């Protein structure tokens, strides 16, 4: 049988081993604390940026919200996403440079290459120098690769949160989501066809061109 003295002799080196490994335990503890600090900082950023409010928006409200955000960042903003589908929702102007922006408010999916292609294609149509895609979500790897090739600027969830925090820090107030009121159906002043809300809003936003009247997409082009 193994005697007690033999067991004690075998266990004798253990305290010195633990003492020698204190640096390892200290490093593990510091790493855990750093990870916890990063997590708490991310939670704080999310709460301050109100990104969860954006996640509940529909596409139209997200466009309006981005318009307010870019105005706070010093851009002149024109909404062009009311009618047609030419790859842009907003046109930004700043320091003589025009940028076509496509807005993507997604719930569970990432933004793919189609959005990059559409934003890039809108540059020529709207006579812009740059293109950008902004989303509350993330981009696929293929989208990121194509964006680099086509020189399309990407604002994903991280970039959007940082911009929201910048605006709040500079202005001292949170950016309030615009209220989109429900409107009754409108008809074209020429053919009487019922138009969508996007078409209606486009005519309202360009009342100087349409004389305050509502026209369908075909008669907008003919006007």
pLDDT higher than 80, residue 122: yes
| Higher pLDDT, residue 96 or 183 | 96
Out of 6-10, 87-91, 140-144, 212-216, give the one with best mean pLDDT.
140-144
CA distance 223 to 210: 8
Looking at every residue in the chain, the average pLDDT score rounds to 79
Residue 71's closest CA among 79, 61, 60? 79
Q: 32 and 44: one domain? A: yes
What pLDDT is recorded for position 47? 47
CA distances from 185 to 58, 72, 193, 201 (A): 20, 32, 10, 12
| Same domain, residue pair 138 and 213 | no
CA distance 175 to 40: 23
Q: Do 166 and 133 lie in a common domain?
A: yes
How many Å apart are CA 139 and CA 109, to the nearest integer? Answer: 9
What percent of the chain lies above the pLDDT cut of 70?
70
Residues 111 and 159 in one domain: yes
Q: What is the pTM of this model?
A: 0.60
Q: Is position 207 within any domain? A: yes
Amino acid 114: pLDDT:
94
pLDDT tens sequence across 40-50: 665 555 445 57
Strand, helix or coil for residue 21: coil
Residue with tokens 């964006």: 147
Would residue 12 count as lying in a domain?
no
Structural domain of residue 42, as residue ranges?
A: 19-49
Tell me, yes or no, whether 74 and 130 share the same domain.
yes
d(C-alpha 43, C-alpha 188), whole Å: 49
Number of domains in the chain: 3
Residue 66 lies in a domain: yes
Q: Is the pLDDT of residue 64 over 50?
A: yes
Q: Which of 10, 27, 49 lies at the terminal end of a domain, its last residue?
A: 49
| DSSP states of 101-116 | EEEE--SS--B-HHHH
**Most confident segment among 14-28, 52-66, 69-83, 115-129:** 115-129
Q: Calculate helix-pair angle for 157-171, 59-72, nearest 10 degrees.
A: 50
Give the pLDDT of residue 85.
Answer: 65
Range scoring the smallest mean pLDDT among 92-106, 125-139, 177-191: 177-191
């Amino acid at each position: 049988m193994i005697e007690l003295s033999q067991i004690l002799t075998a266990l004798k080196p253990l305290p010195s081993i633990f003492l020698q490994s204190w640096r390892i335990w200290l490093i593990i503890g510091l790493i855990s604390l750093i990870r916890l600090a990063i997590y708490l900082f991310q939670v704080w950023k999310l709460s301050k940026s109100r990104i969860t409010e954006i996640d509940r928006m529909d596409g139209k409200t997200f466009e309006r919200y981005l318009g307010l955000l870019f105005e706070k960042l010093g851009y002149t903003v024109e909404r062009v996403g009311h009618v047609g589908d030419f790859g842009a929702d907003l046109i930004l102007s700043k320091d003589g440079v025009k940028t076509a922006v496509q807005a993507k408010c997604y719930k569970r999916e990432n933004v793919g290459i189609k959005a990059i292609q559409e934003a890039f294609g809108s540059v020529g149509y709207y006579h812009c120098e740059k293109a950008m895609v902004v989303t509350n979500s993330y981009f696929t790897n293929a989208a990121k690769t194509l964006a680099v090739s086509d020189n399309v600027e990407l604002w994903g969830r991280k970039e959007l949160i940082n911009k929201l925090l910048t605006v709040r820090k500079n202005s001292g107030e949170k950016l309030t989501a615009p209220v989109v009121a429900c409107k009754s159906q409108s008809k074209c002043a020429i053919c009487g066809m019922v138009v969508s809300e996007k078409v209606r809003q486009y005519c309202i936003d360009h009342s100087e061109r349409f004389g305050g009247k509502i026209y369908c997409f075909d008669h907008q082009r003919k006007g």
